[in-house]
Amino acid sequence: MPKLTVLPHAELCPEGAVIEDAPSGVSICRVLLDNHIEIEHACELSCACTTCHVVVREGFSSLESATDNEEDLLDKAWGLTSTSRLSCQAVIEDTDLTIEIPKYTINHAAENH
């Protein structure tokens, strides 16, 4: 099983995390949530928002290519990079990954409270 390394994030994972046995065939978002890293996921993992945006720092090429729908949504994400993915759509395969959760997210539901 591959390893998922999460770089430190001030609010969600201050010390960073290493998930040693991340299951293949499961989205990055689901693995984070299952390991008590409460990344935002306003659309409930349905590829309809950008709140679960992550930057894949290592292992990006092991991921399946993003769909056109995901690419369109990513264009709206805060802090977009060439290795950005929606974590609900990026499925872990057999390669170790290192990800960074951006400091900010665009969550209109949270911003309008």
Residue ranges of the chain with per-residue pLDDT less than 50:
108-113
pTM of this prediction? 0.91
Distance in angstroms (rounded) separating the CA atoms of residues 72 and 37: 26
* Domain annotation covers residue 106: no
* Domain annotation covers residue 109: no
Q: What is the pLDDT of residue 112?
A: 44
Judge whether 76 and 100 are in contact, CB under 8 Å: no
The set of residues, in sequence order, having a beta carbon less than 8 Å from that of 8 and lying 6+ positions away, is: 14, 15, 16
Q: What is the pLDDT of residue 30?
A: 97
CA distances from 23 to 26, 62, 108 (A): 6, 14, 31
* Domain annotation covers residue 107: no
Q: What CATH code is carried by the domain that includes residue 29?
A: 3.10.20.30
* Domain annotation covers residue 12: yes
Query: What is the span of the domain harbouring residue 51?
Result: 4-100
Q: What is the pLDDT of residue 107?
A: 64
